[in-house]
Amino acid sequence: MAYVPVNYDNDRYHAEPLRRFSTEIFQKAGLPEDQAAELANYLVATDLRGVLSHGTSGVPGYANGFRNGKLNPRPHIETDREAGATIQLNGDGCIGHLLSARAVQAAVNKAAEYGVGMAFGRYCGHTGSIGNWTRIATANGMIALFTSTAVAPADTTTTQSVTQVFRDHPFSFGFPAPEGKPPIVIDMGTLLAPIDIQKQLAEISTLPLIKGFALQAISLMLTLPLAAQAPIAADPYPSATCSLSTIVLNPSFLGSLEDYYAEGIRMTEALHRMEPLPGLDRVLMPGELEFEREQDFLENGIPLDTSHIERLTEAGRDYGVPLYWE
């Protein structure tokens, strides 16, 4: 789910200095070394795929949340309940990246045993670029659905456009591919478009708006009511307003994983020969562009705009961390 377009003319910055810088910032903000490195890895991986709105641009805000006590820098992520193929985790006010990764891995473990696994998480902060989490499942040869609440909680008291009430819940599907091929990963917000664009679309047809609203409703019902069943008694971390749900399916329980891969490749190659969407020059399955960018950016650096680097530079001064890319 990207809100910042990639400008290939921007100066490029290599992943390792950004990773080292981000890790040290998070350590200075209070995270243990292992969790600081883990969070930094997720953010740099997001930049490498070109989702620049959800990568290292978030380092200053996350670090300030840890330092100011809005998020728990030393959480104890625990299992609230577990039965059969399901598990629910309590994030203890952590940043959502940490809880999301653990929830999907727990669902992957369940799917390895039962063929399907479901994990639910509550009491965490922003879950970031959620394509990170479905990719944990695809790396294990499994299919995944992941959704979480938006950073800002739903506002059901103010009378407004109904699509604004639900906010922009993120929604991701991931489908595995054989080694060397990109997994198919859909990572998007469920808010179809800003209100002014919705009004323009409605003049043509309300059908896309209705479908977008349906996606918002699905994401909402898979997260908020489940989390509300077991509310947190105390709430010392005010930015930990998110909950999440993930379902993981193991295709090898249904037959040959190689057959699954072969059919997926056949369909993808067939689609590549079709006419692209209006305004585009080629057909790509979701995840293919990100895969191409990752190869390019790993070798040649990530194109980041000056405002992105300025925010990191200011954070480096604030926390006393060198700008390792200089």
Domain chopping of the chain, boundaries = 12-319
pLDDT of 36 reads: 98
Q: Alpha helix (H) ranges present in the chain?
A: 15-28, 33-48, 59-67, 96-114, 131-138, 162-165, 195-204, 207-228, 257-272, 288-300, 306-319
Cα distance between residue 166 and residue 188, in whole Å = 15
Q: What are phi and psi of 36, to 5 degrees?
A: -60, -45
Q: What is the mean pLDDT of each run of 10 residues along the chain (326 residues)?
A: 83 98 98 98 98 97 97 96 97 97 98 98 96 98 96 84 86 96 95 89 93 90 85 82 96 94 96 94 96 98 98 98 97
Give this prediction's pTM: 0.95
Class of the domain covering 12-319: alpha beta
Q: Which of 177, 120, 182, 110 is nearest to 146 (CA)?
A: 120
